[in-house]
Chain A
Amino acid sequence: MAGGKDTSSRQPVGPLGRVYLLLVLAFLVGPFLPLLIQSLAFHWVWPDLLPSEWWFTARERARLPQGWDYVISPYSRVGEALLNTVTIGLATALLCLAICLPAARVLATQDFAGKRLVELYLALPLILPEAVIGIALSMVFIRLGLAGTHAGIVLVHLIPTIPYMLRMLIAGFRGLDREVEEQARVLGASNWQVTRLITLPLILPTAMAGALFAFLVSTNLFLLTFLMGQGKIVTLPTLLFSKLSGGALEPTAAGIALAAALPGVAVLLLLDRFAGPHVGTAAGQRA
């Protein structure tokens, strides 16, 4: 890792710093514990620090599924939502990859008139709020018959994912050693062979990181999915939103929140395995 050549000269963190880091971690991750407890509680109210009755005892005398029984059952639609979220995420990631690869290659390696403008335009989704895109497009999609279809949602999910994918791929293409490609051409390979046998394999790690990121962005989108889905397509964010009210969290809502965190946790585990050093580049690139 560049810059980390001489870790011995980096001072270890002092006690104040350690306390700070502990507080930060507690803030970021700590609240998941009460969420888990709430999902397992039957009756947990102010001022109890632990549930006064747990789900385990209550479910035996209950007529209808309670708590996690309900969340896991088909009645909660969590299974359907999870399936929709993952399939839409995968489709978005793959489609995004397909259309960003050629564009990223061109933007990373070639110059042309108006390039700056194109780059600016392609970064526009990062600046335009989802509300603008979603509300304006929903009418069009209804007329086109795309509203409430998986295809329509995948299409609209492309908009926020393209900038991230592009930035990672551009960084990846810029980091490629062009000489290998040149040598292959010198040795008589056609452009298509060069692309297929050399460029694509070399860009694969970055592409996977980009796909993971696009999948991540897609699985977390709410407003676009809600507006385009017209209630027919339920994903984890839309299901969770309908359960959240500003006052308190019921046990089943807590369970659904935890279920909604699943795709993200999966991505986190995969991110570390496949894409480690690349993730920062998406966020760290100059605007």
Chain B
Amino acid sequence: MTRPAARSTARTGEPWQVAASLVPIGGVLGLMLGGAVLLAVAQSLGFAPWYGINSFPDPSYLAGLWGSKGFWVSVGLTLYYSLAATLLALLLALTTATLLVRSFPGRAVFGALYRLPLVVPYGVGIALAVIMMGNGGLVSRAFAAIGWIDDPSEFPRLLNTHAGWGVIAVYVWKQLPFMVVAIHAVMVGADREQAEAAVVLGASRWDVFRHVTLPQIAPGILSATLICFAFNMGAFEAPFILGGGYPDTLPVLAWRFFNDADYTMQLRGMAVVVSIAALTGALVLAYLAAYRAYERSIGRA
């Protein structure tokens, strides 16, 4: 739990001391991250002399991209997968965390095992999705064993469709433990006396949750959902392997452009990449603004 006392004793540090401490990190991030962003923006505007193309500032790549219908379908798909997965994971995580603070038989086992998806690469999750959810996969075979289907094509197609069940499943699988860890951490630190007082005063469970628990765990929720949403927007592996093909999500679209030997296609790929960053950034800022509004509404900000 953060201690407000430490904050109030913060000194205004000597400038050179502050600078020296921040130089390594600033250097690394500044050069690589800043450099990457600048390069991406420059290339999306036509600056690529090493390819023999220098039409900077050339809005035609971005304009051509934003003017094509396929791009907006990709934007829609990317948003849909990211939002649906983040929301679903959040709902499941809230429920799980609420139960996790209580006692139940096998709690130790649960606690030990549930974080497994958190620590393995996405590729493992994709492998699991393939083995479980494919038409030749285990759920389909279970249906066949029960007698509900007798041909793999009768099993509903879950993978490689634009409905994205496979993609969303992998995201939720990977991010549910992450959100549970985050929310659980703030939940155990939450002040329970207020909640108990509210119950004593006759508030319903839902009111207690909404007006007492939620404000307390809101920072944890914000942080976890922000990180997960931003990650989903830029995720590549799952939509590439489990997605429905053209039109793809934005990162896969960028990849396809980038793999084209034609250099102008690579600049278009940069335009896509810049668009992803801009879109994600805008949504994150909007989310943060909404959160600040929420905090003001509950009288905290």
Chain A residues at the B interface, C-beta cutoff of 8 Å: 1-4, 6-7, 9-13, 17-18, 20-21, 24-25, 27-29, 31-32, 34-35, 38, 45-49, 98-100, 102-103, 105-106, 108-112, 118, 121-122, 124-133, 135-137, 139-140, 143, 155-156, 158-159, 162, 166, 171, 174-176, 178, 216, 219-220, 222-223, 236-237, 240-241, 244-249, 253-254, 257, 260-261, 264-265, 267-268, 271-272, 279-281, 283-287
Contact = CB atoms under 8 A, between A and B. Distances in A.
Interface of B: 1-3, 6-7, 9-13, 15, 17-18, 20-22, 24-26, 28-29, 32-33, 35-37, 39-40, 43, 50, 92, 95-96, 99, 101-105, 110, 112-124, 126-128, 130-132, 134-136, 138, 140-142, 144-145, 152, 159-160, 173, 176-179, 181-186, 188-192, 196, 219-220, 222-224, 226-227, 230-231, 233-237, 241-242, 251, 254-255, 258, 269-270, 273-274, 276-277, 280-281, 284, 288
B144 A47 contact: yes
Contacts of B134: 247-248
Contacts of B21: 102-103, 105-106
Contact of B223 (A3, A219, A260, A287): A287
Contacts of B112: 272
Nearest to B159: A246
Which of B1, B120, B182 has the most C-beta atoms of chain A within 10 angstroms of its own C-beta? Answer: B120
B173 A249 contact: no
B176 A131 contact: no
A14 to B, nearest CB: 9
Nearest to B143: A47
A261 B251 CA distance: 25
A13 B127 contact: no
A31 to B, nearest CB: 4
A112 B13 CA distance: 7
* 8 cross-chain pairs, A with B, having the tightest CB-CB distances, nearest first: A129-B234, A280-B185, A264-B119, A283-B182, A110-B13, A102-B21, A240-B123, A99-B24
Contacts, number: 336
A121 B29 contact: yes
A128 B277 contact: yes
Contacts of B234: 128-132
Given A49-B141, A99-B24, A280-B182, A222 B236 contact: yes
Contacts of A109: 6, 9-11, 13
Contacts of B226: 126-127, 287
A139 B130 CA distance: 33
14 contacts: A20-B99, A21-B104, A25-B114, A34-B131, A38-B131, A46-B135, A46-B144, A103-B24, A121-B29, A126-B227, A130-B236, A133-B32, A158-B28, A268-B119
Contacts of B269: 135
B22 A106 contact: yes
A250 to B, nearest CB: 10
A286 B144 contact: no
Nearest to A1: B188
Contacts of A285: 219, 223
B18 A220 contact: no
Contacts of A246: 130, 159-160, 241-242
A25 B10 CA distance: 44
A156 B241 contact: no
A132 B113 CA distance: 34
Contacts of B26: 103
A1 B280 CA distance: 37
A161 to B, nearest CB: 11
Nearest to A103: B25
B124 to A, nearest CB: 5
A16 B226 CA distance: 30
A178 B9 CA distance: 9
A143 B105 CA distance: 58
Contacts of A7: 103
A241 B114 contact: no
Nearest to B98: A17
A136 B40 contact: yes
Contact of A100 (B25, B140, B186): B25
Contact of A136 (B18, B43, B96, B173): B43
Given A12-B103, A106-B13, A135-B258, A31 B123 contact: no
Contact of A219 (B11, B121, B196): B121
Contact of B136 (A46, A143, A223): A46
A136 B173 CA distance: 30
B43 to A, nearest CB: 7
Contacts of B142: 49
Contacts of A135: 40, 254, 258, 269-270, 273
B32 A244 contact: no
Nearest to A95: B28
Given A12-B104, A159-B33, A248-B134, A28 B117 contact: yes
